[in-house]
């Protein structure tokens, strides 16, 4: 199914405008409404804004009117898509992210609808078996899961190397905390980091959940100076935050290691990740809460 038209449902005027701008940048024809009504036209995508009251109820109305449409819930807070939605649209909207995300969500929805139905709680009611979207997205951060996204990363590196285009990577990880980090605290930290990253990235950047404790930022058409600007924004946003945990107020920080394609060097994605990891290790060893670029990767002074 080709995605050409979208409907936005968002009560707030400013929210509708921002959503409309983001979806139009992704190449969609967009119709924005304050509320869902029977007179609303047809579309392949319906986005429910963050101010929509009773979004599950609205989603049911959407599916009754447009059974083939993809229903997305727009929100700032990272997290798994609720059962009534096909996916989450992270805010602020990234056109580049959306162009990749939509086709993958369509594939997942198609697979889930092709799975055998099971009986629901009400007798005789068939319930669609939804396949988990973890193959595409990390369920907490909603960043791309690396095992699924790695082919695109490899292609982007090869393309940049072939045509001499700038490309940078940033590897982001939390610095040590004065408490034991259990699963609950890890989820709080990763959720806050995801929000800080979303607010720091540009429209063309890709956040990837590289491992449980590391986020990889793929920055196409970006040299190290540009990557440093993005990385500093992430560090500064996290450093301004605080987190209540076991009667303590924690002030987490992150370190970022950078690498970039060097002109005339036949570097692979693995080479770039190793360079970024070494830079990250150096940033942590220097005290954390900083961006580091090793001299071998930069052609600039190391550290920042």
> pLDDT at position 54, please?
94
> pLDDT at position 113, please?
53
Residue 76: pLDDT band (50, 70, 90) is confident
Domain of 45, CATH number, reads 3.40.50.2300
> pLDDT at position 2, please?
76
Domain of 216, CATH number, reads 3.30.70.270
> pLDDT at position 275, please?
94
Average the pLDDT over 112-123 and give the result. 43
Please check whether residue 139 lies inside any domain of the structure. no
Q: Are residues 65 and 179 in the same domain?
A: no
Q: Are residues 26 and 166 in the same domain?
A: no
Q: How far apart are CA 194 and CA 215, in angstroms?
A: 9
Per-residue pLDDT at 117 exceeds 60 = no
Please check whether residue 238 lies inside any domain of the structure. yes
> pLDDT at position 140, please?
83
DSSP string, 167-215: EEEEEEEEPP-SS---HHHHHHHHHHHHHHHHHH--TT-EEEEEETTEE
Q: Are residues 126 and 183 in the same domain?
A: no
Work out whether strand 126-127 and strand 144-145 pair parallel, antiparallel, or are unpaired.
unpaired
Specify the pTM: 0.65
Which domain covers residue 163, as residue numbers? Answer: 144-298
Please check whether residue 303 lies inside any domain of the structure. no
Please check whether residue 304 lies inside any domain of the structure. no
Please check whether residue 138 lies inside any domain of the structure. no
Please check whether residue 17 lies inside any domain of the structure. yes
> pLDDT at position 304, please?
47
- Look at 149 and 78; give whichever has higher pLDDT: 149
Per-residue pLDDT at 203 exceeds 50 = yes
Q: Are residues 233 and 115 in the same domain?
A: no
- Of 81, 102, 133, the residue that ends a domain is 133
Q: Which two tokens stand for residue 34?
A: 């304050």
């Amino acid at each position: 199914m080709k995605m050409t038209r979208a409907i936005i449902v968002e009560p707030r005027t400013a929210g509708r405008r921002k959503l409309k701008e983001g979806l139009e940048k992704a190449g969609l024809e967009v119709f924005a409404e304050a509320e869902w009504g029977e007179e609303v036209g047809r579309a392949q995508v319906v986005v429910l804004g963050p101010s929509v009251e009773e979004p599950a109820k609205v989603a049911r109305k959407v599916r009754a009117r447009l059974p083939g449409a993809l229903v997305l819930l727009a929100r700032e807070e990272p997290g798994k898509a609720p059962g009534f939605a096909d996916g989450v649209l992270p805010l602020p909207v990234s056109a580049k992210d959306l162009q990749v995300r939509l086709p993958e969500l369509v594939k997942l929805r198609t697979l889930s609808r092709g799975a055998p139905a099971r009986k629901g709680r009400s007798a005789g009611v068939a319930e669609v078996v939804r396949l988990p979207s973890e193959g595409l997205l990390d369920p907490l951060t909603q960043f791309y899961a690396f095992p699924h996204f790695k082919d695109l990363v490899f292609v982007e590196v090869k393309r940049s190397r072939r045509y001499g285009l700038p490309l940078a990577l940033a590897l982001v990880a939390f610095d040590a905390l004065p408490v034991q980090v259990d699963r609950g605290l890890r989820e709080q930290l990763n959720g806050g980091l995801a929000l800080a990253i979303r607010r720091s990235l540009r429209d063309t950047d890709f956040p990837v959940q590289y491992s449980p404790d590391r986020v990889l930022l793929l920055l196409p058409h970006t040299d190290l100076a540009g990557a440093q600007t993005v990385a500093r924004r992430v560090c500064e946003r996290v450093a301004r935050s605080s987190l209540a945990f076991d009667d303590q107020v924690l002030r987490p920080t992150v370190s970022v290691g950078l690498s970039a394609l060097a002109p005339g060097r036949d570097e692979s994605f693995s080479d770039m990740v190793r360079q970024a990891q070494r830079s990250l290790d150096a940033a942590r060893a220097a005290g954390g809460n900083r961006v580091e670029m090793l001299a071998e990767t930069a052609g600039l002074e190391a550290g920042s």
